[in-house]
Each structure stands twice: as C-alpha cells, then as structure tokens.
Amino acid sequence: MLEIPNSADRLKRLALDPSVFTTDAKKNDDARMKPERKRAGRKTQRKKKPRLSVSKSLALFVVVPGLLAAIYFFFIASDQYAAEARFAIRSAESGGSPDLIGGLLAGVGSTSSTASDAYIVTEYIYSRELVDELEKAINLRQIYNRDEADFLARAGDNRSVESFMDYWKSMVSVYFDSTEGIILLEVRAFTPADAKLVAENVIGRSERLINELSRKIRDDAVNEARSEVARAENRLRLARVAIARFREVSKIIDPSMTAKTEHAIVSSLEGQLAKRETELGTALMSMGDTAPRVIHMRTQIEALKKQILDERTKLALRDSAGGESLNENLKRYEELVTEQEFAQKAYVSTLGSLERARIEADRQQRYLAVFVNPRLPQDALYPERLRWTLIIFGGAFLIWGVGSLAIASVRDHMI
C-alpha cells in the first residue's frame, strides 16, 4: 500500500529521489512473502530427510527372508520320513462279505456307533495318554531328538509336556474319511525305522483302546442279565433249602406219596370192613348173636373200624407229639414245590436272556481292521523344501507390499 506524503518535505524528497517510494513498497512486499518462504523452506527440509529406498526395503524384507528360508530348507533342514497306514473300525453286525476290503467299506461308516468310535480313536492319537504310553514303550522323546534332526526340527530335551504335545501333533496326521469309514494315519520321523516303529505302536495302542471299549460295552450289556441270573439262582437255591428243611423237620420225604399211601390203606381197610359186615349179616341169618363165630366177626369189625379211624386221624388231626397233620404237611409241601417250580422256570428264563444278551453283545463288538500296514519308507517326503521356500518368500513379499502402501499413504497425509 502506498504512503501519501503529508508534508512539504516529503514531497520535496520524492521529487528529488523517486526511489524512496519504490523501497517502501518493496519492504511491504517482502513482509507479505516471508511466511510463504518459511513454509516452502520446511517442505524442502522434509524432502531432504533420508528415506529407505524401495529397492533396499525389498531386499531387506523380501529377498533376505526368502534367501534364508532357501538356505535352511535346501542345505540345513533334516530329511523327514513318513510311514502311512490305513485302518477302520468294524463291528461284527456288519455281516460277512466276499472280500475283506468290500466288507470293511460296507460295514464301517454305515452306523453312527462305528463313526463315533473312529472319532474317539482320532482324538486318542492326539492325546497325552497315548504320548505317555509311547514314551514308556519306545522312548518317544529320544526318537525325536536324534542326531539326524536339525536344530529347528528336533523336539528338544527341555520341552514341557504341553510343548511336546504341540510338537507331536505336528509330526503325526490323522484323518477320518466319514464317507468311506477309513482312518488315514501318517507319522513322521527322522529315520525310516523310527517312522515305521512309531506308526506300528500308534496302531497297536489304538487297537487296544477299541478292544477295551468293546469289552466295556459287552460287559455293560451282559452284566444286567448276569444279575438277573444270580437273583433267579438265589431264589431257586432258597426254594430247595426250604424243601430240604421241611423234610428234615417233618421226617417225610414226599407228603403227597405218604398221603396216597394212607388213603390206599384206609380204602383197603374200608373194603375189608365192608366184607366183614357182609359176612356178619350172612352169619346172623343162621346163627345167634352169642355164637362164637358171630362174636369173632364182630370183634374183627370193631378192630377194622378203629384202625380206619386211626388212619383218618393221621390225615386230619395233629398227633400227640404236637406235629402237623398229614394234610397240613401236604399243603405246606405243595407250596414249597410250587415255589421251587417257579424259581426253576425263572432261572431257566434268565439263562436264556443271558445267552441272548451275550449274542447281542458279540454282534455289536468292535474291532480295528488294518488293511494298509505301515511300511519302511524309502524316500523323505518332508520337509517340502520348494513349497515352504515359496510360501515364505510370497508371504514376505505380501507383508512388504502391504506395509509399503500403508507407509506411503501415511506420508501423503502428512504433506
């Protein structure tokens, strides 16, 4: 903005030296441009700060990791041999088949029970229980700390149980094909013999597990039937003891036979009595009452009547010793015999139930059928050197690319 002279001296100076006006205007322009120059200077300073070039960051974060991975996998990583096996859980109820493989594929996987057993075996192979058993049987930690193993692949002597379990899960692979009902097992180790040994022991202990489960199922199914048999047997034993005790007390082996004998005696005596009475009537027609023969016949008749009365008393009344009458003994004996017969029938029935339970348990029994046994591997299948090198290289490149884009975006927002 121009200053307007307000005095005569000022006008004189402007007339003699016009540059005074130009100098004042320049000072005003310099004052107005100073903040802009400062901002431009700061931008220039920021641009001059040292930055990591794209080629250097690519080499540092992509090429170097990929090169290290290649060196490790192709020159350091130990060979790992894999022993494979295939087996299935089969039940006896699956029925016969003309060929083994057809029977396995037809019988296994068709029921939820065998599928459940297969999943149990799968989880068991990954379990600590199996690892502990293998450690006791074949010294599993020593197998995975062989001198053949490199420093990254070996298990390490100081691993905790949990850490070793993670390592074990990385060295064994189990897959259950629910469609075919087949379990595929792959075990890795640093020598062919170790891989085969570990795989065989895993299968052996899995088979033992299935046998134990089958035995438990069978016992559960049969134990109830056995309990019923035991109760029926005890009932029959008590019934027989009661009959023996009755015979011991009553001194009668079979009251029914005794009763038949007594009735036969009474019937015989009654027949004799009727005969004597008939003879007496005939004799009275020709003799008097005082005739010796008539008196003798009457004496015989009275004796027969008394004998009949005594025999009937045995059947109906208590004897003088306080024992039970024959009729009462017969009633009691028949009750005991009836109880014994019922107990006998119940015992026979429970025996049949037990046999049926055993047949059903045998029909539902499970067993592990191995149709591809582990063999001694010839070539090392692991580690997959090229695959893992490319994966690490590709992963590093992806991380580098995403990071570079993120950093560039942040810088653009800061300008």
Identify the H or E element spanning 85: strand 81-91
Q: Clarify whether residues 160 and 194 are in a common domain.
A: yes
Per the structure, the count of domains in the chain is 3
Q: Clarify whether residues 370 and 353 are in a common domain.
A: no
Which residues does the chain have with pLDDT short of 50? Answer: 1-5, 11, 14-15, 20-21, 25, 43-49, 95-110, 318-322
Q: Clarify whether residues 305 and 176 are in a common domain.
A: no
Query: Comparing C-alpha atoms, which of 100, 328, 74, 360 is closest to residue 220?
Result: 360
Residues pairing with 81 in the sheet:
189
Give the pTM: 0.62
Q: Is residue 47 part of a domain?
A: no
Provide the token pair at 413: 């927002």
Quote the distance between the C-alpha of residue 309 and its chain's center. Answer: 79
Q: Clarify whether residues 82 and 194 are in a common domain.
A: yes
Q: Clarify whether residues 178 and 56 are in a common domain.
A: no
Residue 49 gets which letter from DSSP?
S
Question: What's the pLDDT tens digit per position in 8-50?
Answer: 555 455 445 555 445 554 555 555 555 555 555 554 444 444 5
Q: Clarify whether residues 83 and 217 are in a common domain.
A: yes
Rounded CA gap, 19 and 14, in Å?
8
Q: Clarify whether residues 110 and 215 are in a common domain.
A: yes
Q: Is residue 227 part of a domain?
A: no
Quote the distance between the C-alpha of residue 25 and its chain's center. Answer: 98
Rounded CA gap, 314 and 226, in Å?
47
pLDDT value of position 193: 96
Q: Clarify whether residues 84 and 217 are in a common domain.
A: yes
Q: Is residue 401 part of a domain?
A: yes
**Residue 291, Ramachandran bin (φ over 0: left; ψ between -120 and 50: alpha; else beta):** beta
Q: Clarify whether residues 298 and 398 are in a common domain.
A: no
Q: Tokens 């052996």 label which residue?
A: 204
CATH code of residue 211: 3.30.1890.10
pLDDT value of position 24: 53
Q: Clarify whether residues 294 and 246 are in a common domain.
A: yes
Q: Clarify whether residues 346 and 294 are in a common domain.
A: yes
Q: Clarify whether residues 94 and 208 are in a common domain.
A: yes
pLDDT value of position 296: 83
Q: Is residue 25 part of a domain?
A: no
Q: Is residue 89 part of a domain?
A: yes
Residues pairing with 183 in the sheet:
87, 176
Q: Tokens 């062919």 label which residue?
A: 192
pLDDT value of position 91: 80
Question: What are the CB-based long-range contacts (under 8 Å, 24+) for 225-234?
Answer: 225/350, 225/353, 225/354, 225/356, 225/357, 225/358, 226/354, 228/350, 228/353, 228/354, 229/347, 229/350, 229/351, 229/353, 229/354, 231/350, 232/343, 232/346, 232/347, 232/349, 232/350, 233/347, 233/350
What is the span of the domain harbouring residue 107? 78-222+365-381
- Yes or no: say if 268 and 308 are a contact pair by the CB < 8 Å rule: no
- Yes or no: say if 191 and 146 are a contact pair by the CB < 8 Å rule: yes
Q: What is the maximum span of the chain, computed from C-alpha positions, in angstroms?
A: 216
Rounded CA gap, 14 and 280, in Å?
202
Torsion of CA 310, 311, 313, 316, to 10 degrees: 180
What is the number of other CB atoms lying within 10 angstroms of the CB of residue 43? Answer: 11
